[in-house]
Amino acid sequence: MEEYSKFQFKGFKIIRSVIERNEKERSQKISLGFAPKGFIRKKESNFQLHLGVKIEDENKSFHIEIDAVANYLFENKEGLDNLGNYFYLNAPALLFPYIRAYISTLTNLSGFEPINLPTLNMTGLGEDLKNNTKEIV
């Protein structure tokens, strides 16, 4: 019998990407903002995460906006109540490393100094994602 996780990352797409840079001196202090939304499709056992990310430094030497969509499959045997932590805590944590790599790669190829974001604990997004998740019938 084949065992698999009750919650599986199936892939992502960057659906919008904006990177603006200028010649101002780059500050080490950056601000990151997140806008998570989720959509649960019970019939397809699918959870879709829409994650908007905004990043800029204190001197406004760069401004980045990324909108990504990630898909996850879940096993629906135990009901969605038991899977809530997977959706709300793990989905952003699974997606963010791909966004970090995307930003690093694009900025590295831009002719400017690359922007390498730190690893982050994404559990703080859990409550926002939970409040912004809808079930699609």
Q: Whose CA is closest to 104, among 124, 119, 91?
A: 119
Judging by DSSP bridges, how do beta strands 30-41 and 133-136 pair with one another? parallel
Q: What is the pLDDT of residues 37-58, one digit of tens each?
A: 999 998 898 999 999 999 999 9
- How far, in Å, CA of 103 to CA of 105, rounded? 5
Residue 74 has pLDDT above 80, yes or no: yes
Q: Label residue 123 by pLDDT band (50, 70, 90).
A: confident
> Domain coordinates of the chain in residue numbers?
7-136
Q: Which CATH number fits domain 7-136: 3.20.20.70, 3.10.420.10, 1.10.3720.10, 3.30.1370.160?
A: 3.10.420.10
Q: Are 123 and 93 in contact (CB under 8 A)?
A: yes
Q: What is the pLDDT of residues 78-104, one digit of tens each?
A: 556 666 777 788 999 999 999 999 999
Q: What is the DSSP letter of 78?
A: S
- How far, in Å, CA of 48 to CA of 10, rounded? 10
